[in-house]
Amino acid sequence: MTTGTPAQHRDRCGLDRLRERKGPDMRRTYQVLAWLISGLVVVQAAAIAFAMAGVVNFVDGGGVIDKALVESEDMAFPEVTGFIIHGINGGMVIPIVALLLMGVSFGAKFPGARKWAGIVLGLVALQMFLGYGLYGAAALGVLHGANALLVFGGSAYAGRLAGAARTQTDSADAMVSA
């Protein structure tokens, strides 16, 4: 049987120290996830540019892109991998990282963490809607490209915000321990 108050018991077990350490770790995780989304958006742009350059070269060389080619398993030109990367990255990887960012935002505990994670998640959801909507309305491609810039900017801002919160917390901790 333990003696003492619950606070003394927590202190003996190290739970208070663990709880104090959790905040900076979550802010760091938040920052990494936010910047990761920005980096993945850059990969998206590079992949689709690579694929489209391949399309242009293929057509300039006399190739024909029709329904039969699109539905075939053949890779008519090597740059087709750009389309595959764009699809997997935009359809699975970025949405999963955005969901992780939203989850981590609840433990990051700095002003604006949940708001900006929610904004990024909403923009990613909109991006997916616009991307899959391209099959019915090609004009959505303009909005898809513009929204990609918003996803990049929003996630970069969230990463900067987390970095600023970490710096302020680290400075405050240094002053308290001095």
Is the pLDDT confidence value at 135 over 90?
no
Is the pLDDT confidence value at 133 over 80?
yes
Is the pLDDT confidence value at 175 over 90?
no
Per-residue pLDDT reduced to its tens digit, 55-112: 999 999 998 888 788 788 788 888 889 999 999 999 999 999 999 999 999 999 899 9
pLDDT at position 17 is: 54
C-alpha 129/C-alpha 82 separation (Å) is: 20
Question: How many residues does the structure list for the chain?
Answer: 178
C-alpha 164/C-alpha 74 separation (Å) is: 49
With contact defined as beta carbons under 8 Å apart, do 108 and 31 qualify? no
Label residues 92-114 b or e (16+ Cβ within 10 Å = b): ebbbebbebbbebbeebbbebbe
Is the pLDDT confidence value at 146 over 60?
yes
Residue range 138-167: mean pLDDT, rounded: 92
- At 31, list the tokens: 């920052």
Give residue 33's region: left, alpha or beta (phi > 0; psi -120 to 50).
alpha
pLDDT at position 47 is: 97
pLDDT at position 72 is: 81
Sign of CA dihedral 55, 59, 63, 64: positive
User: What percent helix, strand, coil does the chain show, rounded to 5?
Assistant: 85, 0, 15
What residues does each domain of the chain span? 25-169
Residue range 134-149: mean pLDDT, rounded: 92
Per-residue pLDDT reduced to its tens digit, 13-55: 555 554 555 668 899 999 999 999 999 999 999 999 999 999 9
pLDDT at position 67 is: 79
58 DSSP assignment: H
